[in-house]
Amino acid sequence: MKGYLMRTHESICLGTPEILLPKAGTDLTKWAVIACDQHTSEPEYWRKAADFIGNAPSTLNLIYPEVFLREPNPETRIASIRDSMNRYLAQDLFTESEGFVYVERTIGSHARKGLVACLDLEHYDFHKGATSLIRATEGTIMERIPPRVRIREGAPIEIPHIMVLIDDPDHHVIGPLAAEKNRLRKLYDFELMLGSGHLAGYRVVDTGLERGILNGLKALADPAAFASKYGLKPGTPVLLYAMGDGNHSFATAKTIWDKVKEAAADNKAMRSSPLRYALVELVNLHDEALVFEPIHRILFDLAPGLDPVEEMAKAHPGRCHMSPAGSLEAMKAGVDGQGDRSHKIGLISDSGFRIVEIEKPDSNLPVGTLQGCLDAFLRKTGSGAIDYVHGTDSVVQLGRKPGNLGFYLPAMKKEELFRTVILDGALPRKTFSMGEAWEKRFYMEARKLG
């Protein structure tokens, strides 16, 4: 589709994408890999993926897994990514088609439903206090942007893992696609690698279904309906899209777009640039298969005698108490079943399991209470490194290693997300995860950027 001009709907900052998919005959189980920000402290996962893929075409060659961000020569990997993008295009690996893609990601007995579309970066602001139609739900870690910029800047294609949420309790936007999927053209249908479930995609070209998508989003974006829905003052800026996964990738696309737009000699001509948009998967917050999981913390290589819990006690004098938990199950029960008057955080070390309780906390969420203390501890001591991990197994396995300390957190209620972001702004960084690591979005669709 050389010269394709995207159909856009600016009032809801949506674009109908031109999708690139591997041609028939490609082993899609080897093509699709999990989001780059998963298994960030588990290089063995990525070694298993690489061994399974071998020399087959794969999105593993088009992404930079964050587990490798600290390697000595990142530019070597970035150059290899760019070479793979150009090689796949030169080899005519892709087929092209215009239109939204309805996606079903089967996880256990449930299928998470999504819509692959383009969002307009002109309507996105990832800074705290933003009032744009598209907003970050968590704090953006600015140091994670530059390496992503080096990958995307000048790249011929994008292949994202971004998931963006809409608050559609009546299922007007994506629900009709699920009901009519049997009359849609199936694009792919296959098992994901390493036991991660199933993925199927369908092309949406029916004008009635497309009109329903647009009308459903316009209804969610209606200012009066929005204010009434959340009990807000009339005129409160509408939040239509809330970042779920891939906020840093979306912020990277925004950073590059602003840079290119500012440098352009003809700003008006740039308005139709493919760089103005980013490819995402829209998911309904009320999808029954969408589960909010906590993101736990790990401190690595702590110097002997240094204890971050002491920082928590200093920050909350007389209100910080620690008690042993006889087992993993007891620790989880205490943290997951906590009430509203205190914050409970699980501690995991080589000596076992404990619970720290903070009475009358200053933050709204336990993750906020913990993150502030960990940030202060790392700044003050310069000891250790922090990582953010998904899943109980990972935090336990890593936290039990000598010199490490794991922090187990409860999940937030997903129904609170939009209202919290509207009223309080972005949540503390790495507050929630949409499912366990293996349930994350896999790279599948691509789009040309030039």
Q: Which pLDDT score, from 0 to 100, does residue 243 have?
A: 93
Residue pair 15/119 in contact (Cβ under 8 Å)? The answer is yes
HEC states along 394-431? HHHHHHCCCCCEEEECCCCCHHHHHHHHHHHCCECCCC
pLDDT digits (tens, 9 = 90+) for 335-377: 999 887 899 999 999 999 999 999 998 887 899 899 989 999 9
pLDDT digits (tens, 9 = 90+) for 396-419: 999 999 999 999 999 888 988 998
How far is 389 from 40, CA to CA, in rounded Å?
7
Which of 328, 287, 299, 351 has its CA nearest to residue 104?
287
> How many other CB atoms are found less than 10 A from the CB of residue 436?
17
Question: Is pLDDT at 245 greater than 70 in this prediction?
Answer: yes
- What pLDDT band is residue 327 in, cutting at 50, 70 and 90? very high
145-150 contacts, C-beta under 8 A, 24 or more apart? 145/248, 145/251, 145/252, 145/255, 147/64, 147/69, 147/74, 147/78, 148/64, 148/248, 148/249, 148/252, 149/252, 149/255, 149/256, 150/74, 150/75, 150/78
Question: Is pLDDT at 432 greater than 90 in this prediction?
Answer: no
- What pLDDT band is residue 390 in, cutting at 50, 70 and 90? confident
- The CA-based angle 160-162-164, given to 5 degrees, is 150
Q: Which two tokens stand for residue 394?
A: 């990972």
pTM: 0.84
User: Helices (DSSP H) in 221-297: which residue ranges?
Assistant: 223-230, 247-263
Q: Which pLDDT score, from 0 to 100, does residue 4 have?
A: 55
